[in-house]
Amino acid sequence: MAIQWFPGHMAKAKREAEEKLKLVDFVMELVDARAPVSSQNPMLQKVLKDKPKMMVLMKKDLADSRETDRWIARFKEKDIPAIAINAGNKADIKQVVQLAKELGQEKMDKLRKKGIQPRPSRAMIVGIPNVGKSTLINRLANKKIAKTGDKPGVTKQQLWIKVRKDFELLDTPGILWPKFEDEMVGYRLAAIGTIKDSILAIEDITAFALMFLQQHYPRLLENRYGVDPETEDMAELFETIGQKRGALESGGRVNFTKVSELVLEDLRSGKIGSITLETVSG
């Protein structure tokens, strides 16, 4: 099953990103640390081509730090500077600024050699919707510029932002790609709340998340819900969670939709624990 959509504003954003790319020295691509590859836009990679790029793994506080370290090492193996951050941490923001300055330095050195007065380096910040782009921009600019929200697709226009005296940042709307060839990509993004729950059946998203937890984080699953992580019957797992957490409807029956909403909220907020849904090893 290929999950498909392509809203008009996203098609426009892609065209604008292609046009504006020649105005910047490098690209700052944001991904979710819980799914660093699935939250990359393959269509965007074609647009960026050989433009220098740095990766910012957002929401590191919600991700498994061991896996995050492995992902940063993997990006660096590909000669892509990478950093993992919590946008609410000032020290992390300083590291983003420093890495961006280093990446823009090559361009500035070339200008000096030509006898041209160096200007602040220019970067384009890109990422799929709901990855935390607006929050990071506000932290970098040290004031509220970009709109923030917990729903995908908040940013709808391009915007230049000065980051102190260090560099200028071109914001772009989050761009999703026309379809997911790999169904698992869709489930990972749905599980962490990057795409709207309505794109896929919420119970299917939850079943995917629970199976992943059984395989990779059984102790966290057991600690949060008091269930046997080796339970093979998914309906039984839903039933047990629903009974223990009071996700019931009239008559005392377990409401599977309520269970799904509860589990996904726990997963997305980090209440289950620090979890990464995508491993370097596959």
Position 177 scores a pLDDT of 62
CATH architecture of structural domain 3-179: 3-Layer(aba) Sandwich (3.40)
Q: State yes or no: pLDDT of 149 exceeds 50.
A: no
Give the separation between CA 123 and CA 168, rounded to whole angstroms. Answer: 6
Mean pLDDT to the nearest integer, 35-47: 84
Q: Span 201-269: which CATH code?
A: 1.10.1580.10
What are the extents of the domains in the chain? 3-179, 201-269
Per-residue confidence (pLDDT) for residue 168, from 0 to 100: 87
Q: What is the mean pLDDT of residues 248-263?
A: 94
CA distance 255 to 261: 10
CA end-to-end span of the chain: 21
Confidence tier at 154 by pLDDT (50, 70, 90):
very low
What residue has token string 């959509």? 5
166 near 97, Cβ under 8 Å? Answer: yes
- Answer yes or no: is pLDDT of 2 > 70: no
**Secondary structure, 3-state, the chain:** CCEECCCHHHHHHHHHHHHHHHHCCEEEEEEECCCCCCCCCHHHHHHHCCCCEEEEEECHHHCCHHHHHHHHHHHHHCCCCEEECCCCCHHHHHHHHHHHHHHHHHHHHHHHHCCCCCCCEEEEEEECCCCCHHHHHHHHHCCCCCCCCCCCCCCCCCEEEEECCCEEEEECCCCCCCEECCHHHHHHHHHCCCCCHHHCCHHHHHHHHHHHHHHHCHHHHHHHHCCCCCCCCHHHHHHHHHHHHCCECCCCCECHHHHHHHHHHHHHHCCCCCCCCCCCCC
Q: Binning pLDDT at 50, 70 and 90, where does residue 47 land? A: confident
**Tokens matching residue 203:** 């119970």
Model pTM score = 0.86
Q: Per-residue confidence at 115, pLDDT binned at 50, 70, 90?
A: confident
Strand pairing partners for 254? 248
How many CA atoms lie within 13 Å of 234's alpha carbon, on the beta-carbon side?
14
